[in-house]
């Protein structure tokens, strides 16, 4: 009996040991996965330092701009400081104008030698867009940035054919010797946008740089989803014809290309102080919605509306669980979404807003 008892304990110990080994393997796998995660595989806020001569950088805002030497650094999962020499330049159109933004958007260019980027979160990146806070001394502008970041996330919820984004808390360190000490270092939120090539590759497609296409030449589901989304957020600042704030991607099949939107800061849902209604549409307010899609098909619209209805809870949870957006902006946003959902679930409003035969404004 005693021997049986000893044998039983021995078997228990073996089982426990095997379980521990399994757990250890899983832990190692998790660490490896974490170690090899690229920039857009996480939703955690990234903390980085960006160091350059910002005086020189921000004086270079003309049409012909140059890259400037810079350094980007962060602390990895092993608490080691990772530092990379990069190049940066100002970018954008409206937000590059110093009359509107004293801190314009930035483009980052990494060393072509992959060895230097290996085992970093930037291992798979060559060029990156960084959306910045625009104004140093205004908390409102940082709220605009966070609101725009969330709109990219909303479109991620609706479709994979969308740009991924990564929010970052950035310490900007100015190396200019003439800069006053008190302004040499500032910290603000910003977000990185996935490159067009990476976004297209993720969707087994390539970027199609072909302007002057009409909406009816594009993937039917894709353009309808996009146009309804732009209606949802009251954004008229886009055009398929001119490839304005639109990227086209095309897969290897004979299917029509799909449109992917970006740049949402002129949308009514953000309601930025600098945003004005697009003049050609004769809108009374930036908050006024206008459907700029050509679709007049009730069945197609019903299908697209069902996607929005299905994702409604997830979209609302995204905002409710995001602590950086002030409560008043959350309420304004969700109220604006409520209005949209009331419209797409009301037959009379659908007829008025989406099924009008007047499509003279579609570009």
What pLDDT is attached to residue 19? 40
Place of tokens 């040991």: 17
Neighbours of 280 (CB within 10 A): 9
Instruction: Report whether 196 contacts 247 (CB < 8 A).
Output: yes
Residue-by-residue pLDDT tens, the chain, 363 positions: 444 444 444 444 433 343 444 343 333 333 333 444 789 999 999 999 999 999 999 988 888 889 999 999 999 988 999 999 999 999 877 777 776 788 899 999 999 888 888 889 999 999 999 999 988 888 999 999 999 999 999 999 999 999 999 999 999 999 987 755 546 799 999 999 999 999 999 999 999 999 999 999 999 999 999 999 999 999 999 999 999 999 999 998 878 999 999 999 999 999 999 899 988 998 999 999 999 998 778 999 999 999 999 999 999 999 999 999 999 999 999 999 999 999 999 999 999 999 975 554 556
User: Considering only CA atoms, which of 74, 67, 68, 72 is closest in space to residue 85?
Assistant: 72
Query: How far apart (Å, rounded) are the C-alpha atoms in residues 363 and 137?
Result: 37
User: Considering only CA atoms, which of 203, 48, 44, 28 is closest in space to residue 122?
Assistant: 48
DSSP annotation of 147: H
Query: How far apart (Å, rounded) are the C-alpha atoms in residues 221 and 223?
Result: 6
- Each domain of the chain, given as residue ranges in start order, spans 42-132+162-197, 204-353
Query: How far apart (Å, rounded) are the C-alpha atoms in residues 330 and 74?
Result: 30
What pLDDT is attached to residue 12? 41
Q: Which residues contact 65 (CB under 8 A, 6 or more apart)?
A: 89, 90, 91
Instruction: Report whether 336 contacts 213 (CB < 8 A).
Output: no
User: Considering only CA atoms, which of 258, 266, 37, 290 is closest in space to residue 159?
Assistant: 258
**H-type helices in the chain, by residue range?**
2-36, 54-59, 114-117, 139-158, 196-202, 220-232, 298-310, 312-320, 327-344, 347-353
Query: How far apart (Å, rounded) are the C-alpha atoms in residues 165 and 152?
Result: 7
Query: How far apart (Å, rounded) are the C-alpha atoms in residues 266 and 234?
Result: 9
Neighbours of 339 (CB within 10 A): 13
DSSP annotation of 281: G
Q: At what angle do helices 220-232 and 139-158 cross, to 10 degrees?
A: 150
């Amino acid at each position: 009996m005693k021997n049986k008892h000893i044998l039983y304990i021995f078997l228990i110990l073996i089982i426990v040991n095997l379980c521990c080994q399994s757990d250890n393997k899983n832990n190692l796998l998790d660490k490896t996965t974490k170690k090899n995660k690229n920039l857009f595989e996480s939703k955690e806020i990234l903390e980085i330092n960006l160091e350059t001569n910002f005086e020189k950088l921000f004086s270079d805002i003309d049409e012909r701009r140059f890259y400037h030497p810079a350094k980007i650094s962060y602390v990895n999962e092993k608490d080691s400081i990772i530092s990379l020499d990069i190049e940066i330049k100002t970018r954008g159109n409206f937000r590059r104008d110093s009359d509107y933004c004293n801190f314009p958007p930035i483009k980052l260019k990494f060393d072509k030698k992959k060895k230097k980027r290996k085992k970093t979160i930037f291992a798979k990146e060559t060029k990156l867009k960084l959306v910045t806070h625009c104004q140093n001394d205004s908390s409102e502008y940082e709220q605009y940035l966070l609101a725009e970041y969330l709109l990219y996330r909303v479109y991620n919820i609706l479709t994979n054919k969308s740009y991924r984004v990564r929010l970052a808390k950035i310490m900007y360190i100015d190396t200019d010797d003439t800069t006053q000490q008190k302004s040499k270092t500032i910290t603000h939120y910003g977000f990185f946008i996935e490159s067009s090539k990476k976004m297209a590759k993720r969707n087994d497609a390539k970027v199609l740089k072909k302007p002057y296409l009409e909406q009816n030449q594009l993937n039917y589901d894709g353009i309808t989803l996009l146009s309804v989304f732009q209606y949802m957020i009251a954004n008229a600042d886009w055009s398929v014809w001119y490839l304005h704030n639109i990227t086209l991607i095309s897969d290897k099949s004979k299917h029509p290309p799909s449109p992917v939107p970006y740049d949402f800061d002129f949308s009514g849902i953000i309601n930025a102080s600098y945003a004005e209604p697009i003049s050609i549409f004769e809108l009374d307010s930036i908050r006024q919605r206008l459907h700029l899609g050509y679709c007049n098909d009730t069945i197609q619209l019903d299908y697209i509306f069902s996607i929005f209805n299905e994702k409604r809870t997830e979209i609302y949870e995204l905002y409710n669980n995001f602590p950086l957006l002030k409560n008043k902006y959350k309420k304004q946003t969700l109220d604006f979404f409520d209005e949209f959902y009331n419209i797409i679930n009301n037959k009379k409003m659908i007829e008025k807003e989406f099924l009008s035969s007047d499509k003279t404004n579609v570009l």
